[in-house]
Chain A
Amino acid sequence: MPKTAFEPSIKSRPIYGTLEPRPGKSHLMIADAEGAEAILDLAKSTPKGMFDHTHIIYIPKKTGETFTGRLRELNPAQCYVGPSYEAALPRLRRVLNDAHMGLQVYLSGSEGLMGQAMLEATNAGIPHSAIQTEHRGSTARRMQCVHCKGITEDVTTDPFQCAHCGLHLFVRDHYSRRIAAFQGVRVDAEEPGNVPEPVERFK
């Protein structure tokens, strides 16, 4: 699947690139679902032996077994396949905690995954501009309700209903790096109950 083209937007909206191999003694690749394809594409141009020093953390989500076999065939030093980002988080934190300067971080897949992993990596001390990202697959958004602060994952419609407080929220492009989520703002604040029909904006 080709890379996703996003419409031009406001400044806080993250932009994504194309993963490319960078020099470094160790490499950490984190992907979900179709993000695996970005790693497989990257592997076509990696210098010999790079995967001997690569740790892959992969969350297949709906893609199931589609890519796991091919990722394992890259023979990375370590390959973890897990059921969810939350389940992978302790491992990710340990890897970052033990890592040294020169570690290269590659993120691919959904915005929610990349945003959250980016947050962990920058908290560990890697400048965000040094972390590579490539968007693949779903454009569903990780949203924070500005009213109750609750996070709703994988939002595909606009407006949508907050999974925590039940308000109907309008999907903004405003993105917070600190919480790795877009902001949702009450759509019927002026006229309670006047909620437009949800439109599927993200897939």
Chain B
Amino acid sequence: MSAGTDKIAVTVTNVVPVNELVTRFRFARTDGGLMPTFSGGAHTVVEMKDGATMRLNPYSLMSDPADRTAYTISVRRDDQGRGGSLFMHRNVKPGLEMVISNPVNLFPLDLRAKKHLMIAGGIGITPFIAQIKQLAASNGNFELHYSVRTASLASYADELSTAHPTRVHIYHDDKKQVIDLENLLDGQPLGTHLYVCGPKGMIKWVRGTAEGLGWPREAVHDEEFLAPPSGKPFEVKLAVSNKVIQVGEHQSLLEAIEAAGVDAPYLCRGGACGQCETDVIGYDGKFLHNDHWLTEEQHASGKKIMPCVSRFEGKTLVLDR
């Protein structure tokens, strides 16, 4: 029922450490066929079977959208996280069979744009790599401004700069290099679209600056994948399927629903797309909302929850699922 998320059985064909924190994985179809086409900015959801736990994490596709032989993703190790990225780094080896979803694009290029201005922070570079391959093939006009911590952690900066020396600009935090955003936005020709992918603070900064300079909302696009935060375990009653489930410390509510064999919709698993929106039938306790889909009023209403990233603390929670 997870709209647009048909599954693909794949085999890991390549695992390449990119730097101290980032590793790249390549997936080809286990049956030897071609992958579905995608457009730059799309992500896939990778299923990780870690013993008894099942995690599903979204990762942006970074391979050439025109190449249907395989998909590649890059995963940044998060030692504080719930373990998805650690699992990828430690347990995923060439030859392993895995399941990934069909690609879904929640961060597409607006191809009506006369110019694409891209701003990336850290691992937020990955969707842009696919978009740049797509644009380069069609002679598209783009410019990338990529902010990294240090040269040694600058994933793919060298490749990008070598391939597109005049279009790619790298900024190193440790050398105190900062994107001169105001000037950069100020001089852009009419018809430019702005894209930002990176940490929350960066997205806020770019959106806020663009708004202050009079950029139309429709010309500014962002993507931030929220990893579902860990938290105290809690119990949930699923009214429609008549089940009581436990949500573990490092499990998301959505994962717990799925683990109970209940089909629930999703697309991004990162609190952004709205697909997993679920009605609350009753509760006694407090919601820990982490999405950026619901409005503040909806958060306060106690009537809705986004189970991909949000949690609950308290006595009872009953969902319409």
Contacts and interface: CB of A to CB of B under 8 A. Distances in A.
Nearest to B188: A101
B187 A130 contact: no
A22 B213 CA distance: 9
A124 B216 CA distance: 14
Given A101-B189, A130-B218, 20 more contacts: A23-B211, A23-B213, A23-B214, A24-B213, A96-B190, A101-B190, A101-B192, A101-B194, A101-B214, A102-B186, A102-B213, A102-B214, A125-B113, A125-B190, A126-B190, A126-B191, A126-B216, A127-B216, A129-B218, A130-B216
Interface in B165-200: 185-192, 194
A117 to B, nearest CB: 14
| Contact-size category for B | 20 to 34
Interface in A107-128: 124-127
B204 interface: no
A103 interface: yes
Given A125-B113, A125-B114, A127-B219, A104 B190 contact: no
Contact of A124 (B113, B186, B191): B191
B201 interface: no
A152 B308 CA distance: 56
B191 A100 contact: no
Interface of A is mostly: loop
Given A125-B191, A126-B191, A102 B218 contact: no
A101 B183 CA distance: 12
Contact of B186 (A25, A125, A126, A130): A25
Contact of A103 (B190, B194, B212, B217): B190
A132 B141 CA distance: 28
A99 interface: yes
Interface centre among A22, A101, A124 (most CB of B within 10 A): A101
A138 to B, nearest CB: 29
B215 interface: yes
23 contacts: A22-B214, A23-B212, A23-B214, A25-B186, A99-B190, A100-B188, A100-B189, A101-B189, A101-B191, A101-B192, A101-B194, A102-B185, A102-B213, A102-B214, A102-B215, A103-B190, A103-B214, A104-B214, A124-B190, A124-B191, A129-B216, A129-B218, A130-B219
A22 B210 CA distance: 13
Contacts of B192: 101, 125
Nearest to B114: A125
Contacts of A125: 112-114, 189-192
Contacts of B191: 101, 124-126
Interface of B: 112-114, 185-192, 194, 211-219
A104 B216 CA distance: 9
Contacts of A100: 186-190
Contacts of A102: 185-186, 213-215
A25 B215 CA distance: 10
A25 B212 CA distance: 9
B215 A101 contact: yes
A179 B185 CA distance: 31
Interface centre among B114, B185, B190, B213 (most CB of A within 10 A): B190
In the A-B complex, the 9 residue pairs with the closest CB atoms: A125-B191, A24-B214, A130-B216, A127-B218, A102-B214, A101-B188, A102-B213, A125-B190, A99-B190
B185 to A, nearest CB: 7
Contacts of A24: 213-214
A143 B318 CA distance: 58
A22 B296 CA distance: 25
A37 to B, nearest CB: 24
A126 B217 CA distance: 11
